[in-house]
Structure 1
Amino acid sequence: MLPCHPPGFHSGLGVIGLPLLQSPQPPPLEIILTVVINRLATLPGELVLVFDDYHVITAQPIHASVTFLLEHLPVHLHIVIATRADPPLPLARLRSKGQLVEIRSTDLRFTREESTSFLSQTIGVEFSTEDITALETRTEGWIAGLQLAALSLQGRQDITHFLQAFTGTHRFVVDYLTQEVLARQPADVQSFLLQTGSLCEAVTGEPEGQAMLERLEEANLFLLPLDDERRWYRYHQLFAEMLRQRLQRAQPDRVARLHQRASAWYAQHELIREAVHHALAANDFAQAARLIEQAFNALVRRGEIATLQRWAAALPDELIRSNIELSVLQGWLLFVSGKHDEALLHLQNLERTFGITPISDEPGEQQTMPRGTESQTEIKGRIAAIRASIAVTRGDLPRTIALSRLALEYLPKENISRAYAAWYLGRAYWLSGDVSAASIALVEASHVSWEVDHLYTVFMVTHDLAHVQKLQGQLHLADQNYRQALQQALERGGDLPAIGPAYVGRGNLEYEWNHLDAATSLLQEGIKLCERTGNGRAILQAHITLAFIKQAQGETDGARAIMQQVVQITERQHLSQHRNAQVEAFWAWLSLMQGDEAAVSLWLQRCGLSLDREVSHLREREYLTLVRVLITQRRLDEAKQWLANLLQLAEAQGRTGSVIEILMLQAEALHASGEVKQAIERLSQALSLAEPEGYIRLFVDEGAPIAHLLVQMRRRPPGGQPGSTHYREHLLALLGGAHDEDGTHEAVVVPGPGMYPLGEPLSERELEVLRLIVAGCSNREIADRLVIAVSTVKWYVNAIYGKLQVESRTKAIARARELNIV
């Protein structure tokens, strides 16, 4: 409440011009205003004149008078106009002169913090971050909307459920917007609003759509501009939902026609996603099917599989069965959804319906190019590719190889299904244990994917190829492949959710190199991108690594919370038994690191691993987790036998990355049994293989066992140990030092100025790049000076980071100066 006479209030101000207005023949308004302005000019101090609810004024003479007042305003007088609509005053001129301060709806919206504070104070309940985000998304910070939500929430316990259901159709929202906004508009505005609740001229059939939009914007009718050219707008979410409900109730027969018009307009302007949305909303399934066929290749190339799944699920079954293109698409989508039996049955029905002679999928059986039309041959190739995808998922590797080769033979070079067939061929070789053949096939699959411009498979293939390279101990090569693929894709521009696996893969590498912040950022971005493509495998990998990052940062509760999310993801995805077993092994490993003996024992009881069975490289993570448990339980002979079997298989398959981890665990087992000399020899072998690739977390995550061994290695003559002292000391420093077995603490030696303790010296080219970094040059500037590609510069920069054991330019410069390199 304001006091009766607030500071600066002048009694009698309102009657200055009243005698002139009441005279028998009042003078023109300009004369009256001149008297008022002259009187105001004599008043002392700063003055504020407030016009409240200005939007209710419709008389043009009043607008003209206010304009006159604004143009002859005394310097110490300020005018405040509170209004729901832009007044017909010379705002543009005032704005250009810097004489206008505007507080608009965007300025009045509550931020997330303000929304949280308002709701807590209003209803006395603490909201979770997810609940606040949901409500903020719904209300878009609209304060009245928050107030309506708060009123509805009073006395409720199921806050999350309510917020999910809080839309523009909620009775409080409908009543408010109908009475306070919609009912106050002229009939033509109401009609326009109802017809354009989500869709303008093409929908309404009226030629003045642009003028009406500008009129609505000036009236602040919950219309939000999306550009600065006044071409694209959208309604506030709650307002749009209310309008759609009102239209559905008032004119239900018009809804479908409006959606059809909107679909046709969007299709004409090549906005296919929106066109399909409105075609489906109109139940115009024939139009929707045509648009889906048109958009299929583009969406698949970008990896937007989830979008295709939603669209296909909305189409009637009979329409899909009668359309060969849609039928093939449905078969592939059933596979992607994990419904493999349904997919195979669907393909059999498809072949019967359209008279397609099934091709033999028996491996080794002689095949010839099928007769018939070229399009039917292509359909057979696509069916073979789908069957190959199901076979590889089920582990039927001979059939996968046979079907993939057939698909590559049948499909024309430009068909995107070739990318899948080539990818499955590489995966089949990998799963069968032929690492060399897998690498060759996956490189070829990458070339095929680029040829058919299929970014989704480009990055799935790149991810698998990098995984093979990591198992071969080639971390830098894996990173280089990821970076090159990303650079090529990003140079093409556009929206690229398909690149998600590369972010996940690079995040895993950065974790191994102990760049935890960089890894977290990459993994989180990778999850967002992969969620858009439905790439459950990569999402799972990213969450598991994030859990281990939390553990590395000492946040054990956070690590367990993320692993709980992993379990929920596996339940939703209906994963294969093999992949579920891998997830459980990671959980057991994390539990072992946290000392949760009960969880480890439970896993040990149900893992079903036995030395009597032949080992498979596909279950290596389970075996290595088991070995860690056996060492902890001092079942050392059993652990050593497992490790001997695993080492033999890894060496035979050329998996150097696996060899490093197995040698490290052999060292732990030997050390635990008192065989110190042999333990140090094994660890030395592991370190000499690991150092060139910059392995860090593999050793540091083992904790005290490796720290004790590294301390033991200090006592041995330097010439008797492969690898560099600096690398071992760096690992020991990250482990936090270690206590000697006799209880004394040995400090880590930190190299001093003038020393050059790098395990591998910088090459001449790396030194050139480093000097340019010190000089402040960007990657582009370095590339121009050295006449090399930017991607090559990035490669050198990462190599420099690895050798200097840093993760940023600033730290690289500091480290180089400390070592007197530059």
Structure 2
Amino acid sequence: MLTTHFPRRSLADRQAPETEHSVAVWRGKLAPPQLAFEAVLPRLAEVLLRSAVLARLVTVCAPPGYGKTVVLQHLHQTLVRRGQQCAWVALDDRDVSVNSLLFLVQSSLAAEGLSGDAPGAPSPMDDSRHTVERVLRLLERLSKPTTLFIDNLSYCTDPLLEPLLERLVFSGPSQLRLVFSGVDRLPFDVTRARLELSAVELRAAHLAFDRESTTLFLKRAHVLHDATTVQRVQVLTEGWPAAVRLVQILMAETDNPGAVLEHFSGSDRDVADMLTRRVLAGLDVERAAFLLEIAPLREFSAELATHVTGRADATAWIADLLDRDLFVFPLDRGRQWVRMHSLLRQYLLAEGHRSLPRERRREILERAAHWHAERGDNEAALEAALEAPAPMIAARMLDRLARTVVGGQGRLTLYIRWVTQLLACGVELSLESHTWYVWSLCFTLQYERAYRTMDTLDHRLAEAAPRGQLGGLHARLGLLRVVVAINLDLMTTAREEAHRWLHDGMRRDPVGIVTVAGAAATAELALGNVDAARQYVLQALSAVTRSPSHYANAWAWTMGACVELANGDPLAADRMLTQARSIAVEALGEDAGVVATLDFVHARALLDLGRTESAQAKAMIGLSRASGQGLIETTLQGFSACVALWDGSDDHPFGPEALDAIARSYPPRALRALALLQLHRLLSLGRARDAQELVRRQLLDLKAILSSEASLHERLIVLRLQGATGNSRQVLEEVERLLRLTVASPREAVELHLLACELHLQADQKDLARRSLSLAVSTAAARRLLHPFMDRMATVGRILAASRSKDLGLTLPDEATLLTQIHERMPSESSEPLSDSADATPAALPEALTNRELQLLDLVALGLSNQQVADRLALSVPTVKWHLSNIYGKLGVKSRAAALARARALQVLRR
């Protein structure tokens, strides 16, 4: 689709003051080009655009030169005339990231009076996908129906564009309509959009000129033509609108239009370049040279063109370009700023590289940089200086822009491109710009590069001034060190940096405290220090009360839940995650990425509690968003639930293929940890040989895992494998040693006792197996930690089927409840009803009995044997007998029965 012109005012008459909006508004980024032409629409496009007026989604996809922008401008004009609210965004090659798209969308809405909120930079709590949530939240606040136009969407190459478009198109706000254009197929399910939304698609075939369109186009341009001429144009151009327009220009310049076509044939390989050369050949030498000189400028005005070229005729020449519609178009309502069509500019740039002296090109761009800087347009000045290149000018502009572009607008990818170009020129960044560079690398997930850049910056800061004189920079950099170390899985470094940052005596903002304390908790968890992790979580939760960030809130509670899960307390984790999710959904919406992270961790808690169906639903939600989202520790909690729910088949949703692909988007430790979880599951399924094959396939170093450096959880998995493959005696000795010497968390203690139970049963040591099971139940009961028993149901079921309730010595209410839950999940033929435990009334404590003696007496009253009492109180059997002897003496009796009778008479039993 192309246009023909109407009579125009002179360029001088068209000058208008710049608007008060961002310079992007009057340079074509936030408003459609101001085309005073009547569009020529091919018949197919015309039909589709009639229905597009009411459609919720319109896409226009075609190669360059098919008039996509003009189609969008025509539809925009139609909707505005009907009183509908519209917002416009046009991308170019600088807008490759979703963050840049977010900034432009927000700016466009603000320019239209639809939003006053600035997008801002990413929070330290954000992961990359939160940018999608920020775009959606912005659009959900629209107060009235709005059509959002995004022109040249193909320039955005961010991987996040696909999930953003999927969310916008299929679950976006009901008051939002969308119109997109691009060169390539847009990254969302277009077929689904046609079926569900009756989306309107315009492609190259719809925009190509047929004979009728070409005839009308030539007629409106007042070009003499007949049917033969039209047919010849069709054959030459194959209906490509850009080529038709170029032919029209050539024909308009001669009294014999038909002769223009005589020298062309269908065999010409590059019609666009050929016709462009012919058009430019019709210009005088000075005017053609002027076009080559201004081509490096993305946009230009008569004033700017005159200043940079020194040509007094620049104003008249630009007016002539506009009047002849020579592939240039105005960007603002006052038609002060002009841009070339990309086809013309690309040709001129290529020609300029061959014929325009390098010194002249640099002079023009330096002048442009100074001109923009004097008028406060630092971004345009920086772009021109980088193109020149003029490194010193560019460095000054970068210093002016760094905080605004990164900290205020969140256009991180653009800033990284600027810095990369500047560094290639050999310029050393200022400390401020260098710090914002590290920030940008961090939050575009380029952690290795950020780590190297921070090292350089550290040396510069050390040389520049003592720490106290650059406190702000040091604080910002310290936070980034923690973020980078966590994401590179450098847990010892993360712990040390976090400790230093939290205890350096400087005042910190709450979001920063949550970020660093949460990272420290993550590091301590990864290093196996659950108690230390808990302290950092408490610090993060304290800061959350002073933070306005909903992401910070969710992050702190998620880490708190991970600590409780590591400690074997799914009840506490369930409470935390339920509360955090409710707050997050209310503030951010059900589809927010952080909600998926909460659900993934919650799946582990629900599975531990025996709520398998709920756990599976949560795991599916979390898994769908888990790739590259969150941290290893939160992801591993979800993985542990998925693997425990895996039935061992290859095609299961939680099978190795699905999970391995996600694990590869994290540091290598994730894949290794996942392999160990899968190994554990295979052993639970009775597939020891498959487990051994997994070890070989994943190149797991079992000796290294059994070293003291590995976590107790990982060592237990390897010990279980060894026990299942013929080394049960040695493994049992190691387990008993760990039980004696290791300070284990409750979860680890349960796993240790269950492994001992499994090994004793293999050795036909039924009493010892029963005792180990009793200890495991006793440890897990108060926390409702059920799943470890389900994971070993074959072993647990055999013992329970051959045991009476009193044989296990489990009489406390929590123990009875957990044992009932285990029985309920056993095959019916193995179940055995449990006996009820009697209540006891506490009495006053006589002075003659110590607290330890009263505690022991209570356990004796429950029917526990000396061995069971010893296990419960972590004492040896001789010590228990010694305490009993003292109790007998104080009560004046000689047996257990008499002691209990005397104690009840004195009302000293507390149960």
State the TM-score bracket (shorter-chain normalisation): 0.5 to 0.7
Q: 1:690 to 1:520 in 2, by over 3 A?
A: same
Specify the alignment match of 1:43 in structure 2. none
Unaligned 5+ residue runs, structure 1? 1-54, 58-81, 88-102, 107-139, 146-166, 208-213, 218-223, 263-278, 300-306, 360-369, 738-744, 762-822
Specify the alignment match of 1:451 in structure 2. 546
Specify the alignment match of 1:526 in structure 2. 622
**Residue identity matched to 1:169:** A
- Are 2:179 and 1:234 aligned? yes
What does the per-residue CA deviation read over 1:650-705, in whole Å, with 9 as the maximum and x for residues that have no partner? 5x25x112111211111111111111011111101111222332223221122312
Specify the alignment match of 1:379 in structure 2. 473
Q: 1:187 to 1:699 in 2, by over 3 A?
A: closer
SS at match of 1:641: helix
In 1, the alpha carbon distance for the partners of 2:581 and 2:774 equals 36
Tell me by how many angstroms 1:559 deviates. 3.8
Specify the alignment match of 2:515 in structure 1. 420
- Are 2:260 and 1:168 aligned? no
Specify the alignment match of 1:627 in structure 2. 719
In 1, the alpha carbon distance for the partners of 2:61 and 2:564 equals 52
What does the per-residue CA deviation read over 1:190-240, in whole Å, with 9 as the maximum and x for residues that have no partner? 99999977799x99xx99xxxxxx9999xxxxxx998887x8653488658
Q: 1:259 to 1:323 in 2, by over 3 A?
A: farther
For residues 48-447 of structure 1, what are the structure 2 equivalents within 5 Å? 168-169=61-62, 233-235=178-180, 239=201, 293-294=403-404, 314-318=417-421, 322=429, 324=431, 327-332=434-439, 334=441, 342-351=449-458, 357=464, 370-372=467-469, 376-389=470-483, 397=492, 400-401=495-496, 404-406=499-501, 408-409=503-504, 411-414=506-509, 416-430=511-525, 433-447=528-542
- Are 2:581 and 1:486 aligned? yes
**Residue identity matched to 1:322:** L
Identical columns (%): 12
For residues 470-481 of structure 1, what are the structure 2 equivalents within 5 Å? 470-481=565-576
Specify the alignment match of 2:844 in structure 1. none
TM-score (normalised: structure 1): 0.52
Specify the alignment match of 1:589 in structure 2. 680
**Residue identity matched to 2:736:** A
- Are 2:721 and 1:637 aligned? no
SS at match of 1:234: strand
Q: 1:236 to 1:593 in 2, by over 3 A?
A: farther
The answer to whether the 8 A contact 1:498-1:529 is kept is no
SS at match of 2:179: strand
In 2, the alpha carbon distance for the partners of 1:348 and 1:596 equals 48
- Are 2:775 and 1:685 aligned? yes
For residues 536-547 of structure 1, what are the structure 2 equivalents within 5 Å? 538-539=634-635, 541-547=637-643
The answer to whether the 8 A contact 1:422-1:445 is kept is yes
Specify the alignment match of 2:38 in structure 1. none
In 2, the alpha carbon distance for the partners of 1:194 and 1:584 equals 50
What does the per-residue CA deviation read over 1:606-658, in whole Å, with 9 as the maximum and x for residues that have no partner? 43334996434x533322222222232232112213323443465x25x1121
The answer to whether the 8 A contact 2:581-2:595 is kept is yes
**Residue identity matched to 1:590:** R
**Residue identity matched to 1:371:** G
In 2, the alpha carbon distance for the partners of 1:233 and 1:290 equals 35
Specify the alignment match of 1:210 in structure 2. none
**Residue identity matched to 2:739:** L
SS at match of 2:659: helix
**Residue identity matched to 1:569:** I
Specify the alignment match of 2:611 in structure 1. 515
The answer to whether the 8 A contact 1:385-1:407 is kept is no
Q: 1:104 to 1:398 in 2, by over 3 A?
A: closer
In 2, the alpha carbon distance for the partners of 1:624 and 1:395 equals 24
Tell me by how many angstroms 1:85 deviates. 7.5
In 1, the alpha carbon distance for the partners of 2:75 and 2:692 equals 73
In 2, the alpha carbon distance for the partners of 1:760 and 1:528 equals 49
Specify the alignment match of 1:670 in structure 2. 760
**Residue identity matched to 2:649:** T
Q: 1:85 to 1:434 in 2, by over 3 A?
A: closer
What does the per-residue CA deviation read over 1:774-801, in whole Å, with 9 as the maximum and x for residues that have no partner? xxxxxxxxxxxxxxxxxxxxxxxxxxxx
Tell me by how many angstroms 1:413 deviates. 2.6
Q: 1:316 to 1:483 in 2, by over 3 A?
A: same
Specify the alignment match of 2:115 in structure 1. none
**Residue identity matched to 1:377:** G
Tell me by how many angstroms 1:513 deviates. 2.0
Q: Which moved more, 1:487-496 or 1:376-385?
A: 487-496
The answer to whether the 8 A contact 2:482-2:516 is kept is yes
SS at match of 1:583: helix
**Residue identity matched to 1:485:** A
In 2, the alpha carbon distance for the partners of 1:645 and 1:474 equals 25
Specify the alignment match of 1:501 in structure 2. 597
The answer to whether the 8 A contact 1:543-1:562 is kept is no
What does the per-residue CA deviation read over 1:525-556, in whole Å, with 9 as the maximum and x for residues that have no partner? 334565585546534543452243242xxx73
Specify the alignment match of 2:700 in structure 1. 607
In 1, the alpha carbon distance for the partners of 2:751 and 2:461 equals 54
Tell me by how many angstroms 1:289 deviates. 10
Tell me by how many angstroms 1:384 deviates. 2.5
Q: 1:561 to 1:309 in 2, by over 3 A?
A: farther
SS at match of 1:371: helix
**Residue identity matched to 2:790:** V
The answer to whether the 8 A contact 1:463-1:482 is kept is yes
In 2, the alpha carbon distance for the partners of 1:760 and 1:329 equals 66
For residues 721-732 of structure 1, what are the structure 2 equivalents within 5 Å? 724-725=815-816, 727-732=818-823
In 1, the alpha carbon distance for the partners of 2:531 and 2:644 equals 30
Tell me by how many angstroms 1:520 deviates. 2.8
What does the per-residue CA deviation read over 1:702-742, in whole Å, with 9 as the maximum and x for residues that have no partner? 231221122122375576666655543432332324xxxxx
In 2, the alpha carbon distance for the partners of 1:183 and 1:473 equals 58
**Residue identity matched to 2:509:** E
Tell me by how many angstroms 1:440 deviates. 1.7
Count of aligned pairs: 538
What does the per-residue CA deviation read over 1:387-415, in whole Å, with 9 as the maximum and x for residues that have no partner? 34556666574884366334553653327
Specify the alignment match of 2:276 in structure 1. none
> Higher Cα Rg: structure 1 or 2?
2
For residues 620-769 of structure 1, what are the structure 2 equivalents within 5 Å? 620-648=712-740, 650=742, 652-653=743-744, 655-714=745-804, 717=807, 724-725=815-816, 727-737=818-828, 745-746=829-830, 749=833
Tell me by how many angstroms 1:379 deviates. 0.8
In 2, the alpha carbon distance for the partners of 1:550 and 1:447 equals 38
In 1, the alpha carbon distance for the partners of 2:661 and 2:649 equals 19
SS at match of 1:514: coil
Tell me by how many angstroms 1:358 deviates. 7.7
In 2, the alpha carbon distance for the partners of 1:697 and 1:297 equals 46
In 1, the alpha carbon distance for the partners of 2:606 and 2:614 equals 7
Tell me by how many angstroms 1:433 deviates. 4.8
In 2, the alpha carbon distance for the partners of 1:295 and 1:546 equals 41
Specify the alignment match of 2:655 in structure 1. 562
What does the per-residue CA deviation read over 1:734-768, in whole Å, with 9 as the maximum and x for residues that have no partner? 2324xxxxxxx44555x9xxxx989999xxxxxxx
Q: Which moved more, 1:682-691 or 1:458-467?
A: 458-467
Q: Which moved more, 1:583-592 or 1:668-677?
A: 583-592
Tell me by how many angstroms 1:444 deviates. 0.5
In 1, the alpha carbon distance for the partners of 2:625 and 2:491 equals 30
